[in-house]
Every structure is written in C-alpha cells, then in structure tokens.
Amino acid sequence: MAAVLELDDIQAGVLRPRPTPYVATYIAFRIDDRKAGRDLMGRISRVVTSAANPQGPLADTSVSVALTYQGLKALGVPQASLDSFSWEFCQGMAARFKDLGDTGESHPDKWEQPLGSPDLHVVLVAVSRDANTLEAALAPAREAYRGMSGITAIWRQDCYAPPNEKEPFGFKDGISHPAIEGSGIPGTNPHEQPLKAGEFVLGYPDEMGGTQKTEPELLGRNGSYVVFRKLHQRVAEFRKYLMTHSKDAADEELLAAKMMGRWRSGAPLALCPVQDDPALGADSTRNNAFMYEADDPAGLKTPGGSHIRRTNPRDAAIAGVARIHRMIRRGTAYGPLLPEGVLEDDGADRGLMFAFVGAHLGRQFEFVQSQWVNDGVFFGAGEDKDPVIGSDPNGVSFTFPKKPLRRRFQGIPQFVVTRGGEYCFMPGLRALRWLSELET
C-alpha cells in the first residue's frame, strides 16, 4: 500500500507544482549567533507554507526554507545528528566539484561569493505568480528576520519563469515531472508508474525498500535534500554553434531539437521526430506521454545522447535502473533574455537557477550529473557528453544517430558554466520547530 504523505508537515517547496508564469527570489543568510539562528527557525516556521492543499488568494504562493550542513552546525545541532545526514550533504557542493564536473571555468574558486563558502547557512525561497504577490509573501518573512542581530542576509537572486516557460536557450521547460505515491500531485507521463514517496521525502519507504532516517528521526522526517545551482548560459555561443553546424534554418532547429530531445516548442522528438508540432508542445496531456524502448531503441528519433534522454532514459535499455535516479526539478531563469536573433554576447549574466529535490543526493543528483550528463558509457556512447550542459576542456562529443549515416559532432564548446550553488536540507515544519527549541 502507498504511504500517505503528511503534506501539512512537508514544505511547499518540496512538492507543490509552481504556477505559470512565476517569479521567485532566493535569499541566503549567515547565522552569526546560535540563539538568533534558533529564534529565526521558530519565526520562519510560522511563515513557510506547507504542501497541503492550499486555498485563498495566495494559493500559488510559497515560502520555503532550507539549511546547509554549516547552517545546521551554526544552530548547534549535535554532531551525532549532523553525522546522520548523507555524506555528500555534509561535504557541501564545492567539495564535490570533481564529481560534478565543476572544473575549469566552473571551478569553485571562480564562483560568485558567498556561494560555496562556509558562510552560507540558510536559504529562503519565495515563489509567486507575480512581483506584487511575491512581495506580499515576502513581507512576513522579512518581518521574521528584520532587525535581528546575529543574522545577516548575504546573497539574493531574483529569477522568473516567463509565460511561454522558455529557458534562456529558447526551449520550453518545466514539462516532465515524476508522479509520487501518496502526494495526490499527478506526474506528467501517464506511462510512468508513480515513484515511492521515499525517493523524495525522508521517513518513507523508497524504491529500494529502504527508508532514509536521521538522528533523531523527527529532524529528517518530511524533509528533503535540495540542490540549487546557478548555471550561467552562453546563449549567443549556443546560437552561433547551431548556425555554423547546420545547412539552413530548418536544419538548425533540427540540430537544436536533437541536442535537447525536444523541439523548442516543447514537442518531444519521440512523438514528432521530423517536424515541430507546437500544438503538441503546448498540450500538457500529450507532451510527456512517451517511452523510448519499444519505439526507438537505437535513438533514431531521440538520440541517446540528447539532454532529456540522458537525464531520464525512461525505459530505454541502459546500464542500471532509471527509476532510482529520478528527481523533482525546477529550472527558473535569471538575468535578461538575449533578444531573438542576436548572435553576439552582450556581457549580461543570464542563465538558470537549477533546483533539485530528492531524498538521495548521491544516487539521484550526483549520479545524473556525473554518470549521465558527463559520461556516455551507460548507453554505449563512450566518452560522449550532454551536448547542452556537458563540460569537457577538449570540447564535448555528441552523436546524432541517422540512417544511412549518423552525424557526429566533436569539440562542442561549453555552453553552461557553474556560477555556484549548495547542498541544502529542507526540513519538515515540526523539524523547524525542533531546531528552534535546541538547547545545546
């Protein structure tokens, strides 16, 4: 029987789908004084929204809060409790740079400060359908920390999902989401069986039959690991690459679609391999209703190396089991969009605030980033990498299977550069109160 999730104890940021369009703000804090930090947890626990079915004018508005390992430490969480969190979380994202492919220009030494530093303790994320309602939602949160000595706001990032939901390279995003047992929130692929709740929330059985717990159990229960990464996108470079490696405008769009696995409209190659179908792209009942293996085992429609087939191979024959590497994912644009047709970089910082939510940092986020994005062995493509987000100092290779002759691209430049990020834990509401009452 499926576990019933305690939605009123789980933060909205973990499970609740976001409105379209929306704006979001990330605010990071440093805790300089343990008691002030605990006080903040108590105040914030009264402001954060739960994943329980919301009503009223602020129904699609949420405020969520997450802590880093250093943040839990700054609150004085006992060492035995700290040690019960996953070891990747305890190390923090910057320390994991080699496995994540954050080398060269993406190296933590080059990250925007204070990202990746031990000063980053608490991250508040507010999401709403427009700037006015976001301000209304942030007001009580601001009230909670304004004037508190011992707490310093050290970083802020505003971001947005535009009405057409396109990310800065021009592809419709936010289409594919897993279904989660007991959440009442439907997934988007009718061919995918819902995943066990313990894949995403601690304290429930997962796909492997285990249950992630912390010491004490209450601290982890109904919480999730959250990864956020600020990913700069080289939009002009991406456009120029497509143009110089295609025969004409139609071929350029085909190459872009083969690299992503979807046309820019969101229509999947799996369902319309030859030509874009914008009506299909816009139809949320159809645009994610597909699998790969029976129809397209060789990747003649959706290349095995494309971004979406790599990051979720669905039922395709690969080394391993795709279901244990799924994630809840939110991508939110930051910075000004580069106007259509512009091929020269204007120097503006633009890209994606990528967010992952799951119960297993190692076998979900890190595995996908290291084995599926930055390697090709799992589907028999040697050292090929993700042509959209992969990184390689010698350039990425990508194969576009085609009959009679495949097309092969080598030396693809790096289009995405990591500006920073962190591993956080988003506790349940009871756990936030537990943190506020710590007496160590």
Question: What residues make contact with ligand HEM under the rule CB under 6 A?
Answer: 167, 169, 171, 173-176, 231, 233, 260, 262, 307-308, 311-312, 327, 329, 331, 351-352, 354, 368-369, 373, 389, 416
Q: Is 154 exposed, middle or buried (0-12, 13-18, 19+ CB in 10 A)?
A: middle
Nearer of residues 30 and 229 to ligand HEM, judged by Cβ:
229
The Cα–Cα gap between 240 and 409 comes to 15
Q: How far is the CB of 378 from ligand HEM (least distance, A)?
A: 14
Nearer of residues 7 and 327 to ligand HEM, judged by Cβ:
327
Q: How far is the CB of 266 from ligand HEM (least distance, A)?
A: 7
Q: Residue 178 is which amino acid?
A: P
Nearer of residues 80 and 342 to ligand HEM, judged by Cβ:
342
Q: How far is the CB of 438 from ligand HEM (least distance, A)?
A: 33
CA-nearest of 212, 246, 258 to 358 is: 212
Nearer of residues 121 and 234 to ligand HEM, judged by Cβ:
234
Partnered with residue 156 across adjacent β-strands are 27
Q: Are 141 and 126 in contact (CB under 8 A)?
A: yes
> Encoding tokens for residue 18?
């976001």
Nearer of residues 313 and 427 to ligand HEM, judged by Cβ:
313
Q: How far is the CB of 257 from ligand HEM (least distance, A)?
A: 11
Nearer of residues 124 and 231 to ligand HEM, judged by Cβ:
231
Q: How far is the CB of 6 from ligand HEM (least distance, A)?
A: 26
Q: Are 160 and 22 in contact (CB under 8 A)?
A: yes
Nearer of residues 122 and 231 to ligand HEM, judged by Cβ:
231
Burial 383-421 (b: 16+ CB within 10 A, else e): ebbbbbbbbbeeebbbbbbeeeeeeebeebebbbbbbbb
Nearer of residues 258 and 329 to ligand HEM, judged by Cβ:
329
Q: Residue 19 is which amino acid?
A: P
Q: How far is the CB of 142 from ligand HEM (least distance, A)?
A: 30
Nearer of residues 96 and 262 to ligand HEM, judged by Cβ:
262
Q: How far is the CB of 217 from ligand HEM (least distance, A)?
A: 29
Q: How far is the CB of 349 from ligand HEM (least distance, A)?
A: 13
Q: How far is the CB of 82 from ligand HEM (least distance, A)?
A: 26
